[in-house]
Structure 1
Amino acid sequence: MRQVTIPDTATIRATLASGFLIGITLIGLPLQALSVTAKLPTARWIPVIYHRLACFGFGVRVRTKGRLAIDKGSVLITANHVSWLDIVVLGQSRPLSFIAKSEVANWPIFGWFAKLQRSIFVNRTRRSETGKVAKAIAERLAQGDAMVLFPEGTSSDGNRVLPFRSALIGAASAAMSTASEANQNETSTTSAPSVWIQPVSIAYTAVQGLPMGRQHRPLAAWYGDMELMPHLWAILKEGALDVTISYGEPIPMDDSVNRKQIAQMAENEVRAMTRAALFERRIAKQ
């Protein structure tokens, strides 16, 4: 008699979750494409709804500490980068736009998502494009979009924060100055609106309700030469990740500090918040 192999619970769960994610993608992609093409207000909120549903599908529970300082003025978020999942856990909170490396635009599926979320793509090997990037950032900030930058330039193993690169922060600061001048001219006031750099920490803290130790964090972290699809499938099979998003104190952009100082200040705060989130989770379960 031929033996029938019964899928394990994790495989069944991953299969069902995949079907759910494919379903919301088939609905969300054309709606977002229409919204972006027609410049409808829904272009900002469809990605938020999609990311919230995606968090449900992946089994990701997001805990937030602090808040985004959008009431202060234009905001550039500087966050550490752990995984492709960072886009989902950040994007579920409110309308955000990402500054991504140019290679992302050519990724299958994820490249479409990035384009439809109106990401700004940066070729890090061409410094001549800095002015173009700065102008694009300025336009988006003037529209009220909160921008997200991953200054590490790559993803880490989730146990540490890599040094922040200051080049794009410099481009963003120039862009925000341009946005401030534009807004000042429009409102005919003597003082430009405030612009801020806000450090944000992403810390994957638990799996299946248990603290995620250093050796288990690669389950969430996607770095090095890891292949995308096997990593995605592993997360779908696990189905229960906790992540803490910590919003730090906004840093005002002014002439008193340069881009390298701002990058270092943001890096220090992100590193401190990440350590606190990882350590807090371990202590709570002891």
Structure 2
Amino acid sequence: MSHPWMPASPCGNGCLTPGAPTVGAARRALRFTAAAAVVLLAFAALPALFVPRLREPLARRVFRGVLRAFGVRLVVRGEPLDGGGRGALVVNNHISWLDIVAVNAVRPMRALAKKEIAGWPVLGTLVARGGSIFLDRERLSTLPGTIDGLAAALRGGSLVNVTPEGTTWCGLASGRFRPATFQAAIDAGVPVRPLALRYRMADGRETTQPAFIGPESLIDSLKRVAALRGLVLEVTVCGEIAPGRAADRRELAGLAEASVQAALGNVVQRRVVVARRYARI
């Protein structure tokens, strides 16, 4: 059963920005066909993932291929995302299932993912094969063990991606970075690398259409993304937060959230506006 601390977002279908350009039915079908072909090739190449020198370039090609198949243009800004041979906790704002694809298209890495993702068609298998650590959000008693496992992975030199908001938001609104997973970075003595994600249309307008929010299924979200014309996914790699810079996990979470907000611009003001809007409903 769920608990009172389960992450929740007020975002729903009413948050979706209207007027996004779309492609025709034939192009949508072609995109799904292309995505399926990329995934089939990925499964065929799974044995190569056990070869260290092939693992990262192959995984990057697969995830970039998924983005291209859905007509998504990836734009990366900021510093290189490289652990330099040591582990790092990589955190980002969470909007869509595309976030997972984008982060791994920039730099393939392990992830802390909710256990439900393991059951998703195709994407779940790829995430699991990538060495993900799965979190049971409905059982708080499992959290300390999960944090210990996350710290061990970081200590071992892995980059591990975490979405500390705990759930998806529409992108124009965002959630607080919850501090629990930041304890793993403190325990492991590794830096935190914040990423800021934003979705735009080709004309530069910010869009919430790719958001995976409300009661919709993954299939419904996939269909909406496949219909979009000119979707651009921007990933800004923010500066490293060095070990020891924060006194505790709450301060570390606040520093990471502030870094992402600064990269996105005016996020705090947007969150307040949206929260007030929902308070009147």
Q: TM-score scaled by structure 1?
A: 0.77
> What SS is found at the alignment partner of 1:270?
helix
> What SS is found at the alignment partner of 1:167?
coil
Q: Which runs of 5+ in 1 are unaligned?
A: 1-7, 178-194, 278-286
Which amino acid in structure 2 is aligned with residue 267 of structure 1? E
1:19 aligns with 2:33: yes
1:246 aligns with 2:236: yes
| Distance change in 2, residues 1:212/1:266 (3 Å) | same
Which amino acid in structure 1 is aligned with residue 257 of structure 2? E
Check whether the contact 2:246–2:252 (CA below 8 A) recurs between aligned residues.
Answer: no
The partner residue of 2:262 within 272, 275, 278 is 272
How far off is 1:95 after superposition?
Answer: 2.0
The partner residue of 2:217 within 227, 232, 235 is 227
Q: Tell me the alpha carbon deviations over residues 7-44 of structure 1, each in whole angstroms, 9 at most, x when there is no partner.
A: x9621111111111111211212422x345xx322344
Q: Distance in 2 between matches of 1:222 and 1:96?
A: 22
1:166 aligns with 2:179: yes
| Structure 1 residue aligned with 2:161 | 148
Check whether the contact 1:95–1:145 (CA below 8 A) recurs between aligned residues.
Answer: no
| Distance change in 2, residues 1:43/1:136 (3 Å) | farther
Q: Which runs of 5+ in 2 are unaligned?
A: 1-21, 268-281
1:210 aligns with 2:203: yes
| Structure 1 residue aligned with 2:115 | 102
1:40 aligns with 2:29: no
Q: Distance in 1 between matches of 2:173 and 2:98?
A: 17
Check whether the contact 1:10–1:238 (CA below 8 A) recurs between aligned residues.
Answer: no
How far off is 1:254 after superposition?
Answer: 1.9
| Structure 2 residue aligned with 1:190 | none
Q: Which has the higher helix share?
A: 1
1:70 aligns with 2:83: yes
Corresponding residue pairs, total: 244
Q: Distance in 2 between matches of 1:20 and 1:202?
A: 24
| Structure 1 residue aligned with 2:18 | none
Q: Distance in 2 between matches of 1:232 and 1:246?
A: 24
Q: Distance in 1 between matches of 2:198 and 2:23?
A: 27
1:120 aligns with 2:110: no
1:236 aligns with 2:226: yes
| Structure 2 residue aligned with 1:4 | none
Higher Rg: 1
Root mean square deviation, CA, Å: 2.3
Which amino acid in structure 2 is aligned with residue 196 of structure 1? P
The partner residue of 1:196 within 188, 191, 208 is 191
| Structure 2 residue aligned with 1:180 | none
Q: TM-score scaled by structure 2?
A: 0.79
